[in-house]
Amino acid sequence: MRKKSLLERIRLFGRAAIDMVAVLGRSGLFLLHALVGRRGIGGGFQLLVKQLYSVGVMSLLIIVVSGMFIGMVLALQGFSILTKYGSEQAVGQMVALTLLRELGPVVTALLFAGRAGSALTAEIGNMKSTEQLSSLEMIGVDPLKYIAAPRLWAGFISLPILAIIFSVVGIWGGSWVAIDWLGVYDGSFWANMQNSVSFTDDVVNGVIKSVVFAFVVTWIAVFQGYDCEPTSEGISRATTKTVVYASLAILGLDFILTALMFGDF
Amino acid sequence: MQNRTLEIGVGMFLLAGILALILLALRVSGLSTSAANDTYKLYAYFDNIAGLTVRAKVTMAGVTVGKVTAIDLDRDNFTGRVTMQVDKKVNNLPVDSTASILTAGLLGEKYIGLSVGGDDKLLTDGGTIHDTQSSLVLEDLIGKFLLNTVNKDAK
């Protein structure tokens, strides 16, 4: 009895591993077919614009608001710490570097996964469960090209832009708190920032980070929707998976990217 | 009509992104469009540059007038050679001006402070500042202090 259950456990473990590899393979093929190859029907640009609107423009509000508050909090915290060492002019440099290198790309990607990623998964999952995807196939339209590809591209394009806007708004919020409220001299605030922030090392590396996150988050979101069980439970599970997997992937990748970019080895 | 507002929204979104990137480049990282033609080069030799880095600022009376562009070792007399780019507007520095390495605050960054001399001749592009004051090294100071106390005790 006991032996059998052990064997059973090993079988289940093996099955989980095979399932995982199968999902990875399916998602890779899915991405390849959606992005590479001949375009299906015309009007791809119109579809992309529509998705850019719902994925990018509609996420703008939450990005701007949270960016501003994060910048303001950074300036407040940084000021209270730095003022102990008498170097409160460095608050601009601290806010800018924190936002550009870490918080801009990471927080934007996390918010994006919650705001746009879950919506993408639920939308595509609902299309699947109401058999819209199979009807598209029926009339000879490839759903990968018609449904998945514009959403993937919209995500790739809009997340880096959102991250840049997040950083700018955050720095503006930080400067508002530091200069207008806490009374840091604005000349040294901006000069310190400009001296320590380098365009190629900090700004471009931050943008590269957010491009990587955009790729991963959108891929996970669209694939989970496309691959979900076509039931209401399946959709809810897929949406949860999107947010959890995307967040974990963002944080893990962020560590690796930071080590590669700023680790000096 | 619906399509039109949608496209306007997307267009404004993309423009905002580009604008934000330009703002980051110019305002935050100080990537200036005006290249080296607004500045001129000065050299200074220091016994010890400890802690001075490239991109450190060069100040005069507390006002930033340029930045350090290169630091290397002069092989012949074993001193550190610092190359500075100084704003063209400040082209009236006397030859016997002093360059010293200073520290901003207790733990702050190192920067170069220039103070004016009294000579009639002026520094030109590629000129060298001979009168320099090296960076303050804490270990040296402690060493001197200890030596002083020991000497006092001996007396």
A162 pLDDT more than 90: yes
pLDDT mean across residues, chain A: 87
Q: CA of B39 to nearest chain A CA: how many angstroms apart?
A: 17
Q: Which residues of B touch A53 (CB under 8 A)?
A: 6, 9-10, 13
Mean residue pLDDT across chain B: 81
- Is B49 a residue whose pLDDT tops 90? no
Contact state of A161 with B105 under an 8 Å Cβ cutoff: no
- Chain A contact for B55, CB < 8 A? yes
Span A61-95, pLDDT tens digits: 999 999 999 999 999 999 988 888 777 778 888 89
pLDDT at B95 over 90: no
Please write down the long-range contacts of A248-255, taking CB distance under 8 Å and 24 or more positions apart.
A249/A216, A249/A217, A249/A220, A250/A106, A250/A109, A250/A110, A250/A113, A250/A213, A250/A216, A250/A217, A251/A106, A253/A212, A253/A213, A253/A216, A254/A102, A254/A105, A254/A106, A254/A209, A254/A213
B22 interface with A at CB cutoff 8 Å = no
Q: Which residues of A touch B55 (CB under 8 A)?
A: 195, 198
Residue A168 forms contact with B (CB below 8 Å)? yes
Determine if the pTM surpasses 0.80.
no
Q: Which positions in chain B touch A199 (Cβ < 8 Å)?
A: 24-25, 29, 31
**Interchain CB distance below 8 Å, B27 and A87:** no
pLDDT digits (tens, 9 = 90+) for B12-41: 888 888 888 888 887 777 665 545 567 888
Pairs across A and B, CB distance < 8 A: 86
pLDDT tens digits for range B113-149? 888 888 888 888 888 888 888 877 777 788 888 888 7
Interface of B with A in 91-120 (CB under 8 A): 104-108
